[in-house]
Structure 1
Amino acid sequence: MESIKIGIIGGTGYTGAELLRLLARHPRAELRVLTSRQEAGKRADALFPALRGHCDAVFEVPDPERLAACDAVFFATPHGTAMQMAPALIERGVKVLDLSADFRLKDAAEFQRWYKLEHSAPAALAEAVYGLPELHREAIRRARLVACPGCYPTAVQLGLAPLLEAGLVDTRGLVADCKSGTSGGGREAKIGSLYCEVTESFKAYGVPGHRHLPEITQGLSGCAGETVGITFVPHLVPMSRGIHATLYARLRKPLADLRGLYAQRYAGEAFVDVLPVGDHPETRSVRGANVCRISPHLGPDGETVVVLSVIDNLVKGASGQAVQCFNLMFGLPETLGLDAPALAP
């Protein structure tokens, strides 16, 4: 079968490295272009030794003509880069998957408020499809530009979507209490991510407002058919990978089979695993895998639903989900290159 020519812009961060790892075993993907201005001339497996024997690509300075010769280009870049480059690639017939936030928020004013950048590609923003396959699969199949979701928004939306779609819970009192490993902050050197700053500690951050809040609100409002109100508090925990979202909602009416609701909603979904009644998912159970494990519980008052949702922030929360969308965009089996089990221990 003919290979699909791939470009990756910004392959030096954690999401870029994860893309390289996943695409290295993808039977239809052929990496043609891997860019980094800072690391130009260096082999990818020199920067990421885990790729030795699997990826012989060499970083290069971005060249618009070489990128335009690709069938698909992934942006694993800081916010603000994709909006500058993606429109020209799309016009040249390249399908674009952006792992930054440039095309996630449909309201350009909201994007500017939260990311402190004026959006320079409003037409592309209007065209972009939000890349959460379990909610937008058919639109992703037809898309030229996919905005890959953030990690927290993925865990929260998958966890609450069945309840909101069915109109079963109060939409104004939702709570998302979420924890993430340190790789969620990126590979750039920061004091707050140093081992001695993180280990044996646990803290909340972004309580007055986190960048993922408007994305979560936008997605959940689409599920509910009305604007939702949600309190979202992220926390940093001393592990490298993983997100655990504990989600709270109040039922509008009694629900006899909570797990059955989730099992029916996600029946046939390869990357959402609804656990047996009473189970509590662990982040290590999804480490390295493109899967969200969910366990809904009914609180002792019979009115509060507590949903536990775990993902690997670098896989289902970023690069794995991007490859899942890539498969849909090119008419491939959705699980292609993504069916490996999680790492254990």
Structure 2
Amino acid sequence: MSDGIGSAARDAVADLQKRINQDIIGQERVVERLVVALLANGNVLLEGLPGLAKTRAIKSLSKNLESDFSRIQFTPDLLPSDVTGGEILRGDGQFEFRKGPIFGNLVLADEINRAPPKVQSALLEAMEERHVTVAGKRYDLPDLFMVLATQNPIEQEGTYPLPEAQMDRFLMHIRIDYPTDADEVKVMRLVRGESAAPTAAAAQPPPKIPQKLIFEARSEIDRVTTKEVVESYMVGLVAATRRPAEFGDKLKNWIAVGASPRGSLALDRCSRVYAWLRGRDYVTPEDVQAIVHDCLRHRLSLSYEAGADGVNADGVLDEIVKQVAVAA
């Protein structure tokens, strides 16, 4: 694979991305990040205000991809067994394991911060281990498995914010912003058209993208190369979050705790996917810069000084990208 050479897997992924963008107007960056996480075999946390199509984006991904979709509405009274499943007593006196919604291919964990920590831990353990253990027995999750969790940045009353160690389990943290005025007009027209009587063409959706093409894409991505200079650049970006004093007083005052090694691994995986989506079999520093915010923003703990200065994680990462140079 090299510049300009296509493949059936890449064509299928491009088609998938195009279909989702037709459902989600004005959120091309968000859709691309969802596809990156899918191809990187990771889980994502989507954060945005109500009504910004977080759930719609996930449903569109499921609608266009050969997959079993599960939705878990997180509430304060949810139990771990409501996520993983549990054993039930049959009429013959034997116990039978009844699978929970975690066994879907695409699992929507809606408003994950509204469930108590024990339930969050059950979900995050399944995300990390790719299996659940009930009554001493292990049950493996599907080969195609992705958790797409959502949370609302406001209305924090009655919520259980994810601790940093659990946030670190997500490959990417995707933020969804308001659409532009022009895009919002298109959204209104799209929803208006959907509520009208469906045409014969609309009644026949295109075939779903087969799972095997996603696995083929992942195999091709595994062959994407990363030169040592780019590897050093990734590590340098993460190291700047851990040793901010070496990069000036601003970063020193803003960062309390830096990113874990999962941050470097996320940069490596996602930058290779990003390069592959652009038809290349090698990673450039620009690929790393394109996805660094989504891979690291949830892995930083900021100081009180950062809050006082009105600086968020993205602002800190902007400064890090300015300060960390690519070795010649």
Structure 2 length-normalised TM: 0.27
Structure with more of its chain in helix, by fraction: 2
Structure possessing the higher radius of gyration over alpha carbons? 2
- Taking structure 1 as the reference length, the TM-score comes to 0.26
Instruction: Say which structure, 1 or 2, has more relative contact order (CA 8 Å, 6+ apart).
Output: 2
